[in-house]
Amino acid sequence: MTTLNVMVTGAVLGSGVSKKSGSPKPYQMANVMYLASAESFQNDDHNIQRCGMQEKQIPMAFNQNLYAQFAGLSYPTQLQLVLEPDPQNPTRNVVVDFKD
């Protein structure tokens, strides 16, 4: 079990049918949004400087009960996110729970 201590700003859970690629394709999405230090970006063609905080997302298990727990919180809130490997992609972690 891995954890991540962050300032959470919200969560999203959704599903539907995407028609972007022509043929309808079902999708599911579940993410937790949190604040992280803003990161500057620089390469040969770009120099983007940032300060402050920026919102990032981390995947969440697609679970209505877990989403309901997030929906009952007041935001923003400091949480310890509990992460586990994504069963469909073990190289990536997903949020499966949280602690206050």
pLDDT of residue 33: 98
The pLDDT value recorded for residue 22 is 81
- The secondary structure of residue 70, as a DSSP letter, is H
As a CATH number, domain 2-99 is 2.40.50
Q: Vertex 99, ends 92 and 27: CA angle to 5°? A: 40
Distance CA 22, CA 80 (A): 41
Query: In the prediction, which pLDDT does 52 show?
Result: 97
pLDDT at residue 21 in the model: 79
pLDDT of residue 20: 83
Residue 19, pLDDT score: 87
> How do the domains of the chain map onto residue ranges?
2-99
Phi, psi (degrees; rounded to nearest 5) at 45:
-105, -15
Mode of pairing for the β-strands spanning 2-18 and 25-37:
antiparallel
**pLDDT confidence of residue 1:** 80
Extract the residue ranges of the chain whose pLDDT is less than 70: none
